[in-house]
A and B are shown apart, each in its own frame.
Chain A
Amino acid sequence: DQQVKQNSPSLSVQEGRISILNCDYTNSMFDYFLWYKKYPAEGPTFLISISSIKDKNEDGRFTVFLNKSAKHLSLHIVPSQPGDSAVYFCAATYNQGGKLIFGQGTELSVKP
């Protein structure tokens, strides 16, 4: 049972444009969501998070949006840069400090 889903395995975007990565979840108990970025042969790097009491959180070029009614979150990267090319994982947890449930990842390619 995949509680966190990233339905797009890959995404290709032109440098300078917006990248939108999507994530859906099924468990309404999740109250904290995170995005991680992963390069090959490295561990995931924390990017940004959002609590379920918010619908938006912004940090520089990265913005995460949460739509609780749709059980959907998205990560916006503006403007996209070639160095953003990596695999992006969304993750969810409940009781904030609980275990993370990861999506399958979306591979972002930003072309110069």
Chain B
Amino acid sequence: GAVVSQHPSRVICKSGTSVKIECRSLDFQATTMFWYRQFPKQSLMLMATSNEGSKATYEQGVEKDKFLINHASLTLSTLTVTSAHPEDSSFYICSARGAVSQPQHFGDGTRLSIL
């Protein structure tokens, strides 16, 4: 149980393109979803937290107009990287959680490469 699906797994696109990443909880209702970013050889850094039907809460230093998050249902959240540039190239991972007492379950991540 507790499967989280993230799509696509890899994206390569030109600078200036907007990229949408989907995160779905397949077998449970995700009250809260989280978006992380990981640079090579570094830890996962939380970008934002989203609760279904509410606006996302962004971590300090994360541009909310750059990284648009939508959590329209209990099983789907999307992250849109708008007008992506090479410095946005990274590994993005989502996680989902049902009840507050439950651990977060992660998707397999999206490798974003901006040329």
Contacts and interface: CB of A to CB of B under 8 A. Distances in A.
Contacts of A43: 4, 6, 93, 95, 106-109
Nearest to B100: A97
Contacts, number: 52
Interface in B44-97: 44-46, 49, 59, 93, 95, 97
B7 interface: no
Contact of B43 (A41, A96, A102): A102
B105 to A, nearest CB: 6
A36 B46 CA distance: 15
Contacts of B109: 41-43
Query: Do most interface residues of chain A lie in helix, strand or loop, or is the interface mixed?
Result: loop
Interface residues of A, number: 20
Interface of B: 2, 4, 6, 9, 32, 34, 41-46, 49, 59, 93, 95, 97, 100-101, 103-109, 111
